[in-house]
Structure 1
Amino acid sequence: MSSATRTGTRCLHYVGLAAALFTAVLAAWPLLSVPGLVNTRAGGDSPFLLLRVYELATNLRAGVVPARWMPDAAYGLGYPFFNYYAALPYYLAAALSLAGAGVLWGVKLAQLVGFVAAAAAMYALAHELFGDRAAALLAAVAYTFAPFHMVNVYVRGDSLSEFYAFAFYPLILWAILRLRRAPTAGSVAILGFSYASLMVTHNISAFIFSPLAGTAVIVAGASAPRARLRVLVLGAGSLLLGAALSAWFWAPALLERSAVSLTDMTTGYFNYAGHFRSANLVQRALAFDYTIDPARSPFALGGLQAGLAIAGLAGLAAATLLRRRHPALLVALAALAAYAVWPITPSSAVVWAHVPLLPMVQFPWRFLSIASLATALLPAAALSALGSAGSRAPAKPQPVRRGSTSLQAIEALLAVALSTLIAWSALALLR
């Protein structure tokens, strides 16, 4: 490849990434364009964000790092909120507040960073998987505008940590793929720090994602083109490194559970049994409805989101069978979707009742965050298969070979059209 060709390819890559980041700003615009807090529709309480950020800023101003205590809570008596609640994004919001943004805009800017980070991480993951800018853009847009991602800001409001977990899911998977490709100390450090960051961002999200991360390491090691044992050992070591780096948070939180009452965290409204989804797992309308009332719930998959995922799965299956592609990607994405969706349904109740600590997740629909990974990657995988239709894949996984220029042009147009439709679906009813 000539120097000019390499430069052009690199520029196109950055154009795709810039487009993905622009859509992230678009997703954040409804909260940036209003002077106060967003309307969370009684599904959460944004003022909690202000209290937490203010209290954390108070700790930082006093030089208390890491913070364990909210000194002004409980009528000035204080309580150890940060000892049990992972709060990495709150540190960013508090730092922005102390830097002059104030508490309110510290929160808003932190939410903007969260949108941008999630889009960038998914773009990187999809590009690593498919080697395809159009597919990477579609995956990033579908992930950024995934209904549950938006719900964490515009309905729940106070779930800043769970919102930020969206950035670390694809980042960790990308780091595992990077380790598979280049099993070096740098790859170990990236994966270890990414996993540690998730652990101190949202402990519940880390809990439900960890089995997926462990499985991804095993699959990466087993499928590595060379040095399989090295990839497997370094991958496992990276996750252990992440656990060690984050032990300053999770070790006290686990060891000091007896110091607080946790009964109310898994009973009444917070008991998992009242939050399964069956017929209401998917909204039927094209535009996602954020309204909370007895007839509907925003804690669900969007109709367009589910439709594109099913179409993507069918398209990828067809490409795999008709062109004799290796089924690894199809199997992996189908398994990811199953892992994410099944725990949300009543048929998984026996697992919720018997797996230790799983009731602490409280809401089965929290697995919608994992589902958002699958529903973003599936249509992107099918789109990438279209763009490489001019080449016949070998019996074993290889880097994607792009098809004809005309097919790539169609692929790019489809990516833009679908991305526009996805953004409209997420924003149309967001008032």
Structure 2
Amino acid sequence: MFKRSLIFIILICALAIPTFIRMVKPGMFTTQDFHFFRLFEFDKCFKDLQIPCRWAPDAGLGFGEPLFNFYGQLPYLFGEIIHISGFSLIDSLKSVFIFSLFASGVSMYFLAKRVWKDDLSSLISAIIYVYAPYRAVDVWVRGALPEALSFAIYPLILLSLDKFIDDEKTTGLMWFVLFLTALILTHNLSVLLFLPVILVWVLYRIINMKKYKLLLKIVSGFVLAGLLSSFYLIPVITEAKYINLDATTLGYFNFRGHYVETSQLLFSRFWGYGASVFGPEDGMSLAIGQIQWVIPVLTLLLILLKRKIFENKTFVILFLLGWFLLFMTHNKSIFLWLRVDYLKYIQFPWRFLAPATFVFTLASGKIAQLFSKYKKLICLIIVVITIGLNYSFFGEDIWLNVKDSNLTGGEEWVRQRSASIADYWPKFGVLPTEVASDNP
């Protein structure tokens, strides 16, 4: 059993290579975020023994800001470990992106194997997960490091929960606590995005197995995860009122301007490296991916034809949940956005593509079980089509032949130090317009 799983893990890792191979060269690709700067600042924290990290001394044009009070630290801790092992900051950053792609495929394989009890089904889910267009957007377009890493944690949360519900051993619950803590410390918005998935899965499994007594223990798991991450959550909750955090929900960041049209979501093959804009003329892809939704639809049709809907409740739950999450990206869901206040902090409704991608890819593995005689052929066809349709998305817009030193000086350094300056500045303070003096 172990050897067979190891073979599939190696195969998944090998098939994932095209998603990052263009990173494996000197330099860095352009992104829409400033993770190099944050890793540079986290490195300063680490060397100053400021643990947990709070202060980014070069932010705010050199006046400093409490950046890491409000920004998830785990991706940068991971990058820092790689950096102190001898790698440059740029290579450390790229290594975390690469790890997110590898790890997400492997973690999805293990979850799908637990759900579908089949290696080929698990392989289908893993490859569709790794090659989802939104994964390419996160890594190669937006450069959204925390969200990219969250994709590797999603399957582990459900895997540990499922194990606990099945065998009722404390070990499974403790793993759930650790993985949920990891998600909180990686990307707090991903917790909000993934919460519906956790709740639906827990309720479905507990009701299906009539293990209602486990609900209280699972709730205690949420509490423990909150306590473990309290060094981060308490400042976020209690100190947010002192900074301009509301600025992250106004103007360009108002969720009302960033809904996705159905044609963009389901049918578009557009690819670009621009920004999300008000209306449908976005400069980047906001598609779930044709394979990602077509395979679940075909699977449902086959189940209906065989009249085995009740024998496939798990798939049906995942299918309906996936479409609900896609619905949250569309303007018809505005009544929910207006009623649930915390949703405004998600900023972009299309961020629900992340949990939707997760749910649809997990559901996609079911199709192999419906073709017992031709399972290998179906798996091969789906894997080849998935990679063939999507591998070209995994590449850079512009490649910069730079070293760490090129990004920590001159105009580029000023640009990074002033990025998002208003977000974490004291609410009643005057925003600086000039770089702070080195000798005040």
What TM-score do you get using the length of structure 2 for normalisation? Answer: 0.84
Q: 1:54 aligns with which of 29, 37, 40?
A: 40
State the Cα distance separating 1:187 from its structure 2 match: 0.7
Q: How does 1:358-369 map to 2 (within 5 A)?
A: 358-369=343-354
In the other structure, the counterpart of 1:105 is 91
Q: Deviations over 1:395-417 (max 9, x none)?
A: xxxxxxxxxxxx1xx21222122
State the Cα distance separating 1:288 from its structure 2 match: 6.3
Q: How does 1:123-138 map to 2 (within 5 A)?
A: 123-138=109-124
**Whole-Å separation in 1 of the counterparts to 2:283 and 2:250:** 23
In the other structure, the counterpart of 1:423 is 387
In the other structure, the counterpart of 2:26 is 35
State the Cα distance separating 1:340 from its structure 2 match: 1.2
Q: 2:131 aligns with which of 124, 145, 169?
A: 145
Distance of aligned partners of 1:315 and 1:239 in 2 relative to their CA distance in 1, 3 Å threshold? farther
Q: Does 1:254 align with 2:254?
A: no
**Whole-Å separation in 1 of the counterparts to 2:296 and 2:272:** 20
In the other structure, the counterpart of 1:312 is 299
Q: 1:170 aligns with which of 155, 159, 164?
A: 155
Q: 1:209 aligns with which of 187, 190, 194?
A: 194
Q: Secondary structure at the match of 2:60?
A: coil
Q: 1:88 aligns with which of 74, 98, 113?
A: 74
State the Cα distance separating 1:291 from its structure 2 match: 4.7
CA contact (8 A) 2:127 2:386 kept: yes
Q: 2:182 aligns with which of 181, 189, 197?
A: 197
Distance of aligned partners of 1:252 and 1:295 in 2 relative to their CA distance in 1, 3 Å threshold? closer
**Whole-Å separation in 2 of the counterparts to 1:295 and 1:78:** 33
The structure showing larger relative contact order (alpha-carbon pairs under 8 Å, at least 6 residues apart) is 2
**Whole-Å separation in 2 of the counterparts to 1:318 and 1:333:** 19
The one-letter amino acid of 1:35's match is P
Q: 1:10 aligns with which of 2, 9, 19?
A: 2
Q: 2:61 aligns with which of 57, 75, 81?
A: 75
Moved more, 11-20 or 351-360: 11-20
Q: Deviations over 1:79-135 (max 9, x none)?
A: 011101112111101221122111001001111111111111110110000110000
Distance of aligned partners of 1:238 and 1:25 in 2 relative to their CA distance in 1, 3 Å threshold? farther
CA contact (8 A) 1:141 1:422 kept: yes
**Whole-Å separation in 1 of the counterparts to 2:309 and 2:205:** 22
State the Cα distance separating 1:61 from its structure 2 match: 1.2
Q: Number of residues paired by the alignment?
A: 390
Q: Secondary structure at the match of 1:344?
A: coil
Q: 1:302 aligns with which of 289, 299, 306?
A: 289
State the Cα distance separating 1:74 from its structure 2 match: 1.7
CA contact (8 A) 2:128 2:291 kept: no
CA contact (8 A) 1:277 1:345 kept: yes
Distance of aligned partners of 1:244 and 1:134 in 2 relative to their CA distance in 1, 3 Å threshold? same
CA contact (8 A) 2:108 2:122 kept: yes
**Whole-Å separation in 2 of the counterparts to 1:326 and 1:248:** 45
CA contact (8 A) 1:336 1:374 kept: yes
Q: Deviations over 1:137-195 (max 9, x none)?
A: 010000111111111111001x1001111111111111111112211111111111111
**Whole-Å separation in 2 of the counterparts to 1:248 and 1:334:** 37
In the other structure, the counterpart of 2:271 is 289
Q: Secondary structure at the match of 1:357?
A: helix
Q: Structure 1: any 5+ residue segments left out of the alignment?
A: 1-8, 388-406
Q: Deviations over 1:193-247 (max 9, x none)?
A: 111111111011101212321332222222237xx13433332222222122112
CA contact (8 A) 2:56 2:64 kept: yes
In the other structure, the counterpart of 1:116 is 102
**Whole-Å separation in 2 of the counterparts to 1:324 and 1:363:** 35
In the other structure, the counterpart of 1:381 is 366
Distance of aligned partners of 1:218 and 1:79 in 2 relative to their CA distance in 1, 3 Å threshold? same
Q: Secondary structure at the match of 1:420?
A: helix
The one-letter amino acid of 1:425's match is L
CA contact (8 A) 2:109 2:126 kept: yes
The one-letter amino acid of 1:289's match is W
The one-letter amino acid of 2:9's match is L
The one-letter amino acid of 1:428's match is S
CA contact (8 A) 2:273 2:284 kept: yes
**Whole-Å separation in 1 of the counterparts to 2:165 and 2:209:** 6
Distance of aligned partners of 1:255 and 1:38 in 2 relative to their CA distance in 1, 3 Å threshold? same
The one-letter amino acid of 2:299's match is G
Q: Secondary structure at the match of 2:261?
A: coil
Q: Does 1:413 align with 2:377?
A: yes
Q: Does 1:269 align with 2:252?
A: yes
Alpha-carbon RMSD across the aligned residues, in angstroms, is 2.0
